[in-house]
């Protein structure tokens, strides 16, 4: 591809670096949230300016083939990681701050909705018939430029967060104008302004909260623990493993190989549709109820998939003859491996002739009595995607924006973004190894994570639906604790400056 002959080992290392470097860049981007989003740039102009990183990263990857440089892809992926790590967290903050309490869940879910739309669009564009070919793949990597330019343009017409203008920049008139522009002249301005002024008065008593101060804070420890567990749980819940397995599950179920990619795109479409459903119900059912239902459903799905995929792996064994990616053998009643040379796979029947002298040659159709197992696997893959898209996909974004006051919110998103991308990188590195060694039993690990997460949600996570930021603070006993900390979790002597580290 780049005019360089690479050994298998070196190629594997380069591939791993290219994949994992994105997460490293995203951690760096998450740590930029605090310094950029306060009085320096604010929420709006941070979102506008970091699009320059997206354009730079996309152009590097697009030009890598012309310059025969795989290093350009690695650098471009790193820059894209920095952009996405910062952008995902800043957008969550902005949406939480501009939303009225009764719509905060639905509006906050729009971020996850467009993430799923982006995944679906990339799956479609990645088809070999479109941009996934040897000649057109640079255009696929350069496609990042389009959404970056669109956001850069349309953000110019949106106001800054009213909370940022009042609390961070101490500009009440600009805050009022932004509030009217966002919610209309009919909005009860005095109620919103008074709620923000109350929070502003509390903020004036306390300096900006740094990342280290938030970690050390006793009175905010529960909120921080909840957010970190939800973010890590989102990544360790196995969603990437489900998408990894989906194509092979469709193949085992008899879906022809040329259609398996379309089936995977169908799963991506379900992911989008169910995120829309989440937008519709999250402010009615509540965050906690949806999380409990969703995570419990995911755990049950993994239990079923462990059994069905395990049976499938035992039924189809690796043998000497193979045609494409179709199953290469079946076990007979005595446990011996029959070696089919698949000539015409259908949804129900494998037609084969055996070439093994130790077996009886046959051209009769072999009917797989366990075909329903693969169909059951497909059903529970879809059920898992539905549960994740409605609950654990969008809700961590919402809750992190709700759990903290203005002064602590940037630091909270810095921590949340960092841990989620570290967890994402760990799963990306470890899952292929586990999958190769223990196969479908890997899902037992994800099931255990979901069970533990469900217990944690039931015990620790409060319901924040339709509550103001101040009301949410009261759920955690918003008062000075034994450490002598102020209500926002900041010790009186914790600061000598306003650095975010």
Tens digit of each residue's pLDDT (9 = 90 or more) over 379-410: 999 999 999 999 999 999 999 999 988 888 88
| Dist CA 322 CA 345 (whole Å) | 12
Write the CA distances from 263 to 88, 115, 255, 308, integer angstroms: 28, 20, 8, 19
Instruction: Report the share of the chain in percent with pLDDT over 90.
Output: 46
Query: What is the pTM for the complete model shown?
Result: 0.79
- Domain 14-158+206-311+373-475, CATH: 1.20.1250.20
Cβ neighbors of 44 (< 8 A, separation 6 or more) are 94, 155, 158, 159, 160, 161, 164
Per-residue pLDDT, 500: 40
Q: What pLDDT, in 10s, does the model give residues 70-108? A: 889 999 999 999 999 999 999 999 999 999 888 899 999
DSSP letters, 6-29, are --HHHHHHHHHHHHHHHHHHHHHH
> Tokens at residue 234, please?
């989102």
Q: How would residue 252 be classed by pLDDT, with cut points 50, 70 and 90?
A: low
Cα 233 from chain centroid (whole Å): 11
Contact 319, 326 (CB under 8 A): no
Q: Answer whether 111's CB lies under 8 Å from 394's CB.
A: yes
Q: Whole-number mean pLDDT of the chain?
A: 81
Per-residue pLDDT tens over the stretch 436-453 = 788 788 899 999 999 999
Helix axes 395-402, 409-438, angle to 10 degrees: 150
Distance, CA of 444 to CA of 382 (rounded, Å): 18
In the three-class reduction of DSSP (H, G, I as helix; E, B as strand; rest coil), residue 281 is classed as: helix
The mean-pLDDT minimum among 50-54, 318-322, 361-365 falls in 318-322
**How confident is the model over 138-187, as pLDDT tens digits?**
999 999 999 999 999 999 999 999 999 988 888 889 999 999 999 888 88
Question: Which tens digit of pLDDT belongs to each residue from 334-355?
Answer: 444 444 444 444 333 333 334 4
pLDDT value, residue 479: 42
Mean pLDDT of 12-22: 78
């Amino acid at each position: 591809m780049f005019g360089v002959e690479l050994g298998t080992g070196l190629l594997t290392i380069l591939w791993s670096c290219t994949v994992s470097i994105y997460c490293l860049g995203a951690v760096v981007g998450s740590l930029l949230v605090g310094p950029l989003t306060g009085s320096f740039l604010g929420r709006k102009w941070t979102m506008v300016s970091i699009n320059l990183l997206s354009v730079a990263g996309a152009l590097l990857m697009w030009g890598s083939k012309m310059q025969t440089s795989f290093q350009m892809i690695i650098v471009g992926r790193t820059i894209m990681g920095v952009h996405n790590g910062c952008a995902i967290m800043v957008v969550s903050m902005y949406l939480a701050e501009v939303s009225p309490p009764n719509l905060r869940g639905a509006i906050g879910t729009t971020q996850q909705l467009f993430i799923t739309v982006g995944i679906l669009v990339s799956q479609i564009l990645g088809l070999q018939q479109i941009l996934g070919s040897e000649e057109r793949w640079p255009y696929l990597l350069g496609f990042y430029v389009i959404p970056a330019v669109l956001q850069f343009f349309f953000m110019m017409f949106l106001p800054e967060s009213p909370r940022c203008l009042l609390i961070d920049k101490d500009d009440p008139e600009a805050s009022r104008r932004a509030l009217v522009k966002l919610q209309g002249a009919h909005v009860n301005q005095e109620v919103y302004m008074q709620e923000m002024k109350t929070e502003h008065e509390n903020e004036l008593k306390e300096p900006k909260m740094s990342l280290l101060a938030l970690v050390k804070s006793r009175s905010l420890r529960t909120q921080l623990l909840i957010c970190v567990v939800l973010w890590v749980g989102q990544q360790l819940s196995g969603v990437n493993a489900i998408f990894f397995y989906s194509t092979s599950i469709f193949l085992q179920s008899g879906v022809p190989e040329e259609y398996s990619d379309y089936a995977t795109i169908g799963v991506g479409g379900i992911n989008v549709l169910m995120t829309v459903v989440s937008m519709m119900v999250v402010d009615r059912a509540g965050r906690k109820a949806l999380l409990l239902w969703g995570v419990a459903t995911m755990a049950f799905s993994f239990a079923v998939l462990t059994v069905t995929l395990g049976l499938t792996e035992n039924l189809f064994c690796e043998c000497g003859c193979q045609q494409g990616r179709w199953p290469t053998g079946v076990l007979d009643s005595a446990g011996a491996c029959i070696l089919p040379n698949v000539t015409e796979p259908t949804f129900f029947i494998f037609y084969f002739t055996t070439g093994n002298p130790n077996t009886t040659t046959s051209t009769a159709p072999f009917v797989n009595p366990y075909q329903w197992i693969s169909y059951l696997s497909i059903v529970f893959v879809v059920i898992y995607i539905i549960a994740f898209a409605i609950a654990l996909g969008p809700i961590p974004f919402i809750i992190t924006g709700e759990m903290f006051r203005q002064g602590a919110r940037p630091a909270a998103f810095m921590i949340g973004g960092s841990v989620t991308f570290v967890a994402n990188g760990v799963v990306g590195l470890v899952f292929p190894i586990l999958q190769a060694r223990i196969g479908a039993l890997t899902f037992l690990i994800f099931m255990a994570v979901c069970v533990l997460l469900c217990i944690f949600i039931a015990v620790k996570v409060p319901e924040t639906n339709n509550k103001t930021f101040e009301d949410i603070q009261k759920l955690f006993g918003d008062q000075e604790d034994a450490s002598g900390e102020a209500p926002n979790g900041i010790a009186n002597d914790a600061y000598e400056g306003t650095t975010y580290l």
